[in-house]
Structure 1
């Protein structure tokens, strides 16, 4: 069979698949309408992850859970420090168009939204917005892309055809993320700096209602496919809140989930609609019914689960593991992990896009992981042996060449207290400490802590005389106190 004939058959197959699913593009799973039919998993589907420290977007085939390659949007440190640098920095947020042909990728450090053609993996355009954008999502009609500009106080509304900003919607400082009702009537915007979620009439770009958040730090929000509920996460206090997706937008439920509660999304199955919540501090995905809010599962997935997204038929949930550089695939029938896929450094938002690839064999514009696949993992344990022997803090050292970016997912400390991540001369945490990063815990006694330097070379030294040990000590960098967590041996 010739190549042209093979491609023609694949195109006919894809067109038939799209016709079989009807006019609705979202396949009956979040963030689309429940009335749309499911799309079975196929080699035309893609799972994308936005990877914050390698500045890549990984591309995975969900049939065999195989990494196909990465789309490189930027360089690692220190190359991205140059004043002449033109790539993206801190690749983080992700959304996709209703026709599944365009991926919108937000980079926090370079204040950008990169639009990628899903058929060719090529960058179509990059739009620069205000300070520290966080997430970008298409309106259900596909005409606009709304970007939360978290470092300022507005939503940047981008025209989906020209990729130019057409207007702004003013919000309280720090809009964290937005999502839309499946019918496209309402936009829901939670805040990362203010205890308020705003409801916007999409057609008028006007705020019509507000919903009180129990804390000011919401990183993620999602609407159920039936259009009845909106769920948002509160990362600092470890909770989920649920409110009515329709007027008068009343709060319905608050659920305690656990430290570093990151993202939420839904899978609709024969047994009902279920919310899957990533709880980073517990390395779990918790599963709740949306009818009575009962918890039905707690799934161990690996270090620091972050982004979460359902397959087009709801049979799987994919989870980005921020401190494990992997995607975990969950079978929703058994609520168990059935595969792990190596991806780039510190995956944040992910997206499962059915029928993204007209030619499933096309690998153009994809690169190998390279340095993005190099990482070392450590853990810190409580010095007094608390938490039943479980390490409360996981540490990843992401290679950037000669240096590493350290990221620690810290739990098990006192709430709202000052601590220091430091290097100690001895494994028990005694002796002089060299501070790496000072931080304050959130109300749940947890934190995400970052540092940069040749840290792997120091903590992985083969000789005891040169080696240093990671610890967490009470106090601040000027005067650190006694170590409370020490490196696991």
Structure 2
């Protein structure tokens, strides 16, 4: 009902001529095929549960605007429903007595796939959910701007990074509540666990490093320095534990880290809004997948034992702003959330083509694939429909010189001005994102009707790089397009506020109608 099937066609843009042989079958005996580039692939690590897709598997997305978790049956390619954790954005969430979650964003699952850890970035909360019943087992107040986390190997604790502090909060996954905190340095963004569960790795939004923590003692034991940028939006550790890929969204780069040597082995130039990395091992070898939201692409790299990974192909997503990603248990599929299209793309990892697109709740962020998460294929208790079936629109934009702002520019630069409109709480949420405008300048955005009439929508200010990562406005939007006009140089106060948020020292500051990105960024990740 909520699945849109796509014909397999030319869905990929090959990065090199040699990539044409990427879809060959495995060699006899099931061993990985030779690399088409001559690079020696990293030894494939057999998944703990390599069973093919099953009706007992589940895909989950954390939906930031509908404040839901979407539940998908990957075998059927069907959305089963959503777990409601709060009201749709706006609505009662602005009330001083609002008690539910806001900004459902991060996800993690326990090693036995029986529980989800769900992080809400605006309410600073962690909910532990039973995957069999879809019921919330506990609700815990975590640290300021809690973002992404992971379960310990025994499933008893959920460690979550507190972006607005210098701590990782340890949540008691069995009983709820805070079991402890670890000081790791300014702006921790995500917690990764080593495959053996002995070490935790934490990236940051305020320092170009990875902090290493001994899980048993809860002590910092080292730091991996020299990352490509101070702001690391997301990171992932390979299944074999050999590499960490740290994404730098603002810089459009990825730092590839040799875990054993504790040093950066490569820096990749990937593109605007580089986001979640993840890994898939199949009959062809071991590969890293990387979402690039500003290009509407998922990049595929072949992992190599030494030197820089090899770019194999660029998968053209069937929607806007790919964000979170997660492989199926057998490594044959990669599920990619489309933040600005409220859907998930399903990529066949042997052909690297999008073979299905499945609807989700509003503004999906993190994505998880949990093999064997439920007791039976028809298990879907307690689900609702909040956030489903709501129309999301990516509307045309017009720049001050009259040119279109939403056209994809050559050279991997992305769009200048994107506009997404979705209904929430009886109004429309209008989300703008700008790149390469006039630096440190205040702009007025207008909703332009069919007659050409302009209605003021919201004003915003670009940073010194000409960017505005996320600008929000709530109204009854009846326009056909959105146009912007410059109002002049930003004030010193506004520029100071932008500088604080760009260095990770301010999060979600208050603001009025004339707002800068520091006051309107919901989660630049």
Indicate the residue corresponding to 1:264 in structure 2.
Answer: 277
1:334-374: CA deviation from partner (whole Å, max 9, x where unpaired): 10101111111110011110111112212221012456623
Indicate the residue corresponding to 2:424 in structure 1.
Answer: 400
Matched, 1:318 2:335: yes
Q: What are the ranges of 5 or more consecutive residues in structure 2 without an aligned counterpart?
A: 1-43, 493-525
What is the CA–CA distance in structure 2 between the aligned matches of 1:388 and 1:149, rounded to whole Å?
A: 36
What is the CA–CA distance in structure 1 between the aligned matches of 2:203 and 2:464, rounded to whole Å?
A: 19
Of 103-112 and 201-210, more deviation after overlay is shown by 201-210
C-alpha distance 380-356 of structure 1, shift in aligned 2 (>3 A)? same
C-alpha distance 47-177 of structure 1, shift in aligned 2 (>3 A)? same
C-alpha distance 37-46 of structure 1, shift in aligned 2 (>3 A)? closer
Shift of residue 424, structure 1, vs aligned partner: 6.0
What is the CA–CA distance in structure 1 between the aligned matches of 2:359 and 2:81, rounded to whole Å?
A: 10
Which of these residues, 85, 90, 95, is aligned with residue 108 of structure 2? 95
Which of these residues, 74, 86, 106, is aligned with residue 119 of structure 2? 106
C-alpha distance 384-303 of structure 1, shift in aligned 2 (>3 A)? same
Indicate the residue corresponding to 1:338 in structure 2.
Answer: 355
Which of these residues, 86, 102, 115, is aligned with residue 128 of structure 2? 115
Shift of residue 168, structure 1, vs aligned partner: 0.8
The CA RMSD over aligned residues, in Å, is: 2.7
Indicate the residue corresponding to 1:194 in structure 2.
Answer: 207
| Residue pair 1:140, 1:184 contacting (<8 A) in 2 also | yes
Which of these residues, 448, 469, 479, is aligned with residue 482 of structure 2? 469
| Residue pair 2:398, 2:484 contacting (<8 A) in 1 also | no
C-alpha distance 256-446 of structure 1, shift in aligned 2 (>3 A)? farther
C-alpha distance 97-424 of structure 1, shift in aligned 2 (>3 A)? closer
Pairs within 5 Å for 1:153-302: 153-212=166-225, 213-246=227-260, 248-291=261-304, 292-301=308-317, 302=319
Indicate the residue corresponding to 1:39 in structure 2.
Answer: 51
Indicate the residue corresponding to 1:438 in structure 2.
Answer: 460
Shift of residue 312, structure 1, vs aligned partner: 0.3
| Residue pair 1:289, 1:296 contacting (<8 A) in 2 also | yes
Shift of residue 380, structure 1, vs aligned partner: 2.5
What is the CA–CA distance in structure 2 between the aligned matches of 1:293 and 1:250, rounded to whole Å?
A: 15
Which of these residues, 432, 436, 445, is aligned with residue 422 of structure 1? 445
| Residue pair 1:372, 1:399 contacting (<8 A) in 2 also | no
Shift of residue 78, structure 1, vs aligned partner: 1.9
C-alpha distance 67-474 of structure 1, shift in aligned 2 (>3 A)? farther
TM-score (norm 1): 0.83
Which of these residues, 452, 457, 470, is aligned with residue 449 of structure 1? 470
| Residue pair 1:54, 1:372 contacting (<8 A) in 2 also | no
| Residue pair 1:398, 1:406 contacting (<8 A) in 2 also | yes
C-alpha distance 262-343 of structure 1, shift in aligned 2 (>3 A)? same
Matched, 1:52 2:73: no
Of 251-260 and 143-152, more deviation after overlay is shown by 143-152
What is the CA–CA distance in structure 2 between the aligned matches of 1:387 and 1:376, rounded to whole Å?
A: 17
C-alpha distance 139-451 of structure 1, shift in aligned 2 (>3 A)? same
Q: What are the ranges of 5 or more consecutive residues in structure 1 without an aligned counterpart?
A: 1-31, 461-467, 480-489
What is the CA–CA distance in structure 2 between the aligned matches of 1:57 and 1:387, rounded to whole Å?
A: 31
Indicate the residue corresponding to 2:30 in structure 1.
Answer: none
- SS of 1:373's partner is coil
- SS of 2:477's partner is helix
Which of these residues, 111, 121, 140, is aligned with residue 127 of structure 1? 140
C-alpha distance 158-417 of structure 1, shift in aligned 2 (>3 A)? same
What is the CA–CA distance in structure 1 between the aligned matches of 2:280 and 2:487, rounded to whole Å?
A: 42
Pairs within 5 Å for 1:343-422: 343-369=360-386, 373-380=390-397, 383-384=402-403, 392-413=416-437, 417-420=440-443, 422=445
| Residue pair 1:45, 1:62 contacting (<8 A) in 2 also | yes
1:412-444: CA deviation from partner (whole Å, max 9, x where unpaired): 546x64453511668999x9883614143585x
1:267-312: CA deviation from partner (whole Å, max 9, x where unpaired): 0111111111000111110111111511001011120110000000
What is the CA–CA distance in structure 2 between the aligned matches of 1:35 and 1:360, rounded to whole Å?
A: 22
| Residue pair 2:101, 2:120 contacting (<8 A) in 1 also | yes
| Residue pair 1:427, 1:469 contacting (<8 A) in 2 also | no
Indicate the residue corresponding to 1:306 in structure 2.
Answer: 323
Residues paired across the two proteins, number: 436
C-alpha distance 162-281 of structure 1, shift in aligned 2 (>3 A)? same
C-alpha distance 471-308 of structure 1, shift in aligned 2 (>3 A)? same
C-alpha distance 441-264 of structure 1, shift in aligned 2 (>3 A)? farther
C-alpha distance 113-442 of structure 1, shift in aligned 2 (>3 A)? farther
C-alpha distance 180-215 of structure 1, shift in aligned 2 (>3 A)? same
C-alpha distance 368-384 of structure 1, shift in aligned 2 (>3 A)? closer
Indicate the residue corresponding to 2:508 in structure 1.
Answer: none
| Residue pair 1:236, 1:442 contacting (<8 A) in 2 also | no
What is the CA–CA distance in structure 2 between the aligned matches of 1:40 and 1:442, rounded to whole Å?
A: 49
